[in-house]
Structure 1
Amino acid sequence: MDRKFLKLFAGDDTCYLKSSLTGEDDERGKKSAQYKTIYEPVTADLWKQHLSGKTRIGIKPEKDGKCSWACIDVDPHNYKSYSEKKYVDIINKYNLPLIPVRSKSGGLHIFLFLSKPGNVDKILKKLKSINTQYFQALEVFPCNKMLNMPYFNMESSMEFAFNDKNTPVMASVFLDIAESKKIDPEDFYNYQVQEYDVESDWSHYPPCVQKLIQEGWSSNNRNNYLFNILVLEMKKNTSLSVQQIEEIAQQRNLSVFTTPLERNEVSALAKSVHKSSYEFQCPPKHPEFQPICNKDLCKTRRLGIGEATPEIIDNFENITYIRDPKNTFYEFDYEGQHVIVSPEDMKDEKAFRVKLLRYGKFWMTLPKPRKGPSPFELLMKGIVEQAIENEDHAYVDTLEEERYSMLKDFFESHIEQDKFEKLKDGYVILDTDTNVCYFKKITLDSFLKKKGSRIFSTTHDALRMLGCVRKEYVKKEKNVWCVEMPEFVSHTKLKSKKSKTVSEIDNDYHEKFRSAKTEADIQKDH
């Protein structure tokens, strides 16, 4: 059996975590432990010691960017009243390819097993989306940490798996379940996560409220926890009357808390929230929320700590943006129409309505709240935040193409060969012996201004992109920039000759009849 566990939990086999319980519990009822990393190989014999109760081990799942197992580490906010049944029921209801196992500390490790090693990043991305939808755990493995293994002292282990009926199973049965639930990595990457439909708008709830509703609560701080629940209810429906919010408060009080608050206490809290439209209580000011808080995730939720985005945003699908040096456009599918809007169309609700009318859609004005920002502005903010760049029109590619064209034009329109006396007259001089171009900074600056370029924020930006180097003196000319002849410039390099006879068919013959611009003329042009 030790070899089967070694194979099932194959990971980083160069070291392992050795742990032991201290016999103490923290304020949440979580069992405390001491840890030590041992830099020795993970072997079948080590697993034998673990299963026999001699050495408790932890293993890191990832190795060389691959892993064959992963885990969602559910850390309850209250271990004393915690029950794994809700999570087991979720796994069964949605037919998730996961196995729940009681952890050393009394929480739950929800394992994923793959039929062969898969890409860590892709596995994490999908597992995190599953966690966000169903479990709201703060830690998902692999995460460059070691995880304690199940079935320590397997004959009397408290770290056992649960079957579909929420019944603890022996180690041999766990191995059979793990084999039956293995999933191919490619199938897991493409796994379709179903929406958790326990309540309407559930996926938009703050993680702390989700935890309270999902797990319940049996300890202190009931007032503060109910407060956040009621703030959520008001965000869901700002038109709730005092009577309606009181009724909801009484129901939540009975369903969430093992020992409910007094009815009059709940009524007073409901009236206070309704009257003042408070915001959520969060750590560090309210440390009691720390174990169930996920601020980064909460910011992304429509009903989280950010301003509530109007529900109609769900009608906007496939939101992308296209950006070029002069403008940005947003695209989305709305009620069967593919719509393209500019920032001008999004500046106010009237402009947006006019734009949608061109697509045969009439936009109804969003109802204004009693206070707070405009719902339309929040909608536009949500569209901008959700938009992803259109891969067919990547800004980086567009920018590089325009930079290329701009600089090619500069060199080809200004270049002269070996006539360094023309540097001060606004020319780019090519030294045909070294294939290096020389020019004054003012020459490039004047060109960029004349072209009205928005590609480069400054002339220095263009110099940096070309990799130009400043020279103190070149051919008696001060402050000159130089760069090796860019490959994209179409210019024929002349071969050096010791002597040359000039005839009427040569350009140099006519040079003396031309009036060259003086430095003063150049300055006047600029």
Structure 2
Amino acid sequence: MKVEKFKNIFDGLDRAHGFYEYTQTKQNGKRDGRMRTVHEEPTLQMFQDHLEGKDRALGIVPIRDDATCTWGCIDIDEYPLDHKKILSQIRKYKLPLVMCASKSFGAHLFLFSKNPQPAFLFDEKLKEIRAHLGYAKAEVFPKQIKLSDEQDTGSWLNLPYHGETRYAFLDNGEGATLEEFFELYDKFVCDDIGKILIQVEDNNMADGPPCLEILTDQGYPEGTRNNGLFNVGIFYRKSNPDDWKNLLETYNREYMDPPLNTNEVGIIMKQVGADKADGAMKYMYKCNDQPIASVCQKAKCKLRKFGVGTSGQDHPVYANLRVTDREPRIWYLDIDSHPVETQVQDEIEYHHRLRKLVKRKLLRYIPMMKQADWEEIQSGLFETITTINMPEDVSKVGEFKDYLFEFCTARGESFDIDELDMEKPYTNAEENSTYFRLRDLSKWLENTKNFKENRSWLVQRIKDLEGKDVMVYPKGIQTRAWKIPAYTQPKKMEKMPNLKTEEKTDKDILGGTEDEVIPF
């Protein structure tokens, strides 16, 4: 069946799935809404409904509990987008990718593997590919290289082929049918994604930033030649301090189209050649400016001899904020694709506390940041926050309900209201109701379950269970108690019948001995 093959292709985390609740369409064409994650296995019927375009589109988490994947994706979220240009680049570099339209007609570039491979390998390879395509800021799935715990559901991606939308592209730019998508999958699925190599022309920059290798191979976009040549100058000064000016002039003539004039090159040389008071270079690579930013590979660059170096002062990428929808809320945040979790909201709210959390969880140092700067980053994280729908039994309320059931049923049934004074619940058989004192419940929860909550919280939870505040009179003393529906149908206590008995002699019981035959 088609749906079974589709499900096998997009196999992922088997204990959760996601969907997107749309609210509005922005001016840039992107449909806005809220992401929600459900702790339920994605079923074959859900995939069938997705292919038929029913209800909400299905979102699947690519990473599994064993930190492996069989597929990953580069999510290019720019509008408008030239899909044909991207496809031509993919084929130029002979990349085994299948391009599909996203829900807002961006591009999803899928990489498939026949067998599960480590999520970190998908992460590394897709980030390398996105940089060569000129979309270094595009999101990559899987977003995590491992999951924090059994409650962490990672980040999901909307699947293609939701009805007649989100189709794949053929090499001629036309939309592919589902059958043609299967053919594309069979053609490009990999045995080992680690063997994917991106060939670039040898341009004597193997020891420099990868971005300069890519730009030298692809050319510099319009309006970026000055910035581009400045960064090339930094590389040449670091790698060849005696002859860097001649090398820079040669590079300008060979790779800039058209070459910058002599005056422009002279200004760039003056900037590149500037020194600090101690003689060190005044300027370094402009990684955050174009054209570098679009093809940046920071992690790879740090390993290059004349790359950005490892100062230890670089901030990680903070991404993919997730939170459970029930108390106690669990917060998840990815630090360079490594998830950290906390039940303390302030450890997300305040950067100085987040730094301590990262040290404790990941054994990693991250530099300080002004709280105002962190507030700006936080704002972006909360705009795309994912809510994880949790079953009630894993919440604090669910835990309380289980304990209340045990308190009322597993401590010996009492059918005499006077036993309330013995700190036991009392069940009225005729009313089918159970009575207990709040102080007895609170004491039992704290002493036997280490469950501590203030009384107002307990009262609200009891009211949610149709509990009522009543007055009762154990041993004739007015007492305040709570009354809730009984958990089980109690049996009425019945008095033992007063049976008449006869006294019997040993002879009556054992029989006579005179005529008895002894069997030996």
Question: 1 or 2, which has the higher helix percentage?
Answer: 1
Question: Structure 1-normalised TM-score?
Answer: 0.43
Question: Structure 2-normalised TM-score?
Answer: 0.44
